[in-house]
Amino acid sequence: MVEAQHGLLHGPLSPGTMHLCLDMQKLFAPSGPWPTPWMARVLPVTVKLAEAFREHTVFTRFIPPVSADVEIGVWRRFYRRWEVVTRQKLPLGMLDLVDELAAFAPPATVVDKTRLSAFSAAELATVLNARGTDTLIISGAETDMCVLASVLGAVDRGYRVIVVTDAICSSSDSGHDALMTLYRERFTEQIEAVESAIVLEAWRG
């Protein structure tokens, strides 16, 4: 078992720190059509992060296509399998952020994406560059899907990446645990995986 990290390995948080909260939407809520049961567990923590980083938070929303037919390649096959979450089938409002987080936007920014990585949305780079961002604090859903894709995208772009371990969630315990091990064993220079209390203390300090 890999031991949990205590403290931030690479120093204090910079003024260019942003909180990137991924896909905490009604679509993925425990009662939604694509449920992530853990979301209820981590939601109070993501609320604390959004409160602390009000003007420094970007929320992403995952936006499925209207139908599988407008998609390309394996995404077309994917949405034929998951037709229930295409926009022609999805109940109104399911793409919204959960109410507890929607209350923070504005001043937080909302960016829509159609792929796993937050960086698939060109608008994200515009928002981050305008803020002089050099550090990303990552929360949201799911650990082994959109969080993973966004974390690796951030690493590729040279950001300091801090994954908040008690503010990310998955529908797969094994997937979540595997990613925590991966970050701590293979990405020690690029990724810091710490609990929210450490992040909040560092930000307030």
pLDDT profile of the chain (205 residues), mean per 10: 64 96 96 91 97 97 97 97 96 95 97 98 96 98 93 97 95 87 89 96 89
**Shortest CA distance to 161 belongs to which of 141, 189, 180?**
189
* 74 in any annotated domain: no
User: The domain spanning residue 134 has which CATH number?
Assistant: 3.40.50.850
pTM for this structure? 0.94
Domains: count for the chain: 1
Dihedral in degrees, nearest 10, Cα atoms 140, 146, 148, 150: -90
Which domain, by its residues, includes 112? 17-64+97-204
* 165 in any annotated domain: yes
Cis status, amide bond into 142, omega within 30 of 0: yes
Q: Percent of the chain beyond pLDDT 90? A: 81
